[in-house]
Structure 1
């Protein structure tokens, strides 16, 4: 890793907008397909509709109601109850919500949403009633991975949150594991080290701006398990074994940035160096208070062993995490966490700067799932990953911002088609604004502009939210242009929009979308 522990993203709540939008605490949705809306009996009056989340009745003011067979709930209450946050843009009546893995953009009265950059059709649009935004109950709940049940006898919408579902499943799984290892022999620290020390390596990474160190776990003849953040953005890497050998890393064979795990592939066969893989399974015991042993390379001190307890078993979003007080430090990321039965239970990944030894490991469950993505044999064309993107663009050059915009906003999905945005440019003008320009595919503008307007607006709002998060103190203008050259002089345009090119042709260039933002957002779409 780049000389630091993993950024505290795994431990932080979902990011909320600061000054860009007026917060109302409403939430997010998912691109996953959802079931039809909840349909209530004709006798279900608004005042009688109840909503429960994880067995607790929500106190709703104003209350839930039905319209055209769809149950609507106040946005703030349902999103907060399901652990999501949201931001309201009053000018366009647009909602931008997010939780740990999803960003969604909705607008009042619009039967479409943009979810993680993709357009999703809604069977019932959000509505505004007496100054409160309401959303369809089933769509929001199921989009946030919750389960929904309608109890007709009591006229109640019963929602089981993703968190409650996970906790129930995890408790059942943990009980099975506890029973499976109840008769297994415990191992001493010496026995665990004797069995697995040679299978833990130090990972040396090279980046465009420096070098880093991390740890890794041998899990196959050419494969080493580590943290995603250890190798993200690296241009090359090597591993050091405790036997003094340095081996070449060809690239990343599999990864999951959400769980912060990656499997790197070595050029050399590890069996040639008599290194045995560590078994990685979903069957292990990890209970609060259990003894654990960590092996890694903190501060580059190779294969350091530390002992501790499982302080807690928790999760971040859908990522199962093991909290431990076993000491780890910079360089420990990607190391192994074993229980006292010698089972790999976690991959050490993060720690808080505290005297309380608040350290975390990603559950080995996720590693076992990731290993299923490995090819049958090592790939010949494996490579390294590009940097996943900045947490901020403050202080970045205009070229860096331009690359970010091109990499992340060069396409819009609408009408089941991908519309390309090209010719990106970024500059700072005489009034210190950051001005961003791009061109839309002129054919889509000519034939489908009226149809894609709602999607284009939501795309722009999502972009504005993102830019404000990355450049919170900047005043920004984004303009999207129609730009096309004709063999005749077009009529009906402002003189400033038509330019003679000098070769008998004329260029039409006119802005079709203008977005400006700082503490608020202004969006104008050409009629």
Structure 2
């Protein structure tokens, strides 16, 4: 296997350094080498809670950084060229060029010397760090001539060798997509990949998988989500770059699982860089397809610069879009967090989307904030809105709540009595088609007006379940006056229908 140049900046190796160190490691046994030179400190490195701590001043000054100490605030500032790092004794909060970052073990004073975790060293000044468990030895390398962060471009094969195993296929109960390791057992993907899911698995190969424990963070607006695996995985995270370093025409490589073909590699160029609805987007020509969503877009230094999100079908211009990795900067503190401390949201905090962007599971206040119709009635367990445009018809929607959460929706087509059977069938088949696109074919269809006694009707029924798929009863019926009325009914479980 071809080794990377020592000048390649690598957060990845830094993470693998930490895992082998046990609680019982002898402090005196750990040695530190920088660019091949053994470092001698008056306070030897120590191991604490599975983390190796080293003298901050000794390491930073060896890397050419200027270190200043403020005794009044217990704050340390280390500066090298364009990189400024600040941290406070006893605090896990640090800042690198003003960006907040959390470290697992805070800086502490031992024998009048300040010690910090080696993971922090690697992130601070872009050094490559490796752990030799057999020799209890830390090897740190950095480029002494080039500016921090600069490295030679990789070939595509080198880039794939570096990152291929860090990109995974994600399968949920609602679909399939891709994801990228950005932390210890932490996967970055698109929000729409995990929308409405109640369980998911990550595939490292066709036969190796790990179950997802839950969602750490979710932002529908920028279409990004963080997933926590049930167990930490011994796979180093990708190195994070920035879309602001890209230029039009620059070569990029996409890795994902289009149509389920795991970890397919494609290359292209950056076609454009701009904001779309307030979200920074990278337009590129690296070929992608359904299932690529959530995969990685890399620059030729092997840095993750975007998350593949969408493309335009049928275009001859290879128009594909990735959400810029910079949109995930607000979650950087999670990237370096210990797996056991990563928070997890409730599964499927918002259920299936209904109309007007409203989702099952919302509170009444959530619905009132999003619904664009006119609120005409409110009770303890319902909200009724009128003047809602659905499929070019004005409808009235009654939202039904239980224990403060939206559990169902009943929709009335206000002008349904004007329909004849042909118009009613057009409405029925049009909306049924939309529901089939969302939930698959119905479990039951009644397409015969003549077998329903006094009130002929046509209907479609989805059984649903008690988790993420609602039961849906959609029907159009003819009343005693040969006028048409129609209702769409959506519930969390079939029990709600049977109770009617």
Common fold by TM > 0.5? no
Query: Higher RCO, 1 or 2 (CA under 8 Å, sep at least 6)?
Result: 1
Which protein is bigger by CA-based radius of gyration? 2
Q: TM-score range by the shorter chain?
A: 0.3 to 0.5
With the length of structure 2 as denominator, give the TM-score of the two structures.
0.44
Q: TM-score, normalised by structure 1?
A: 0.42
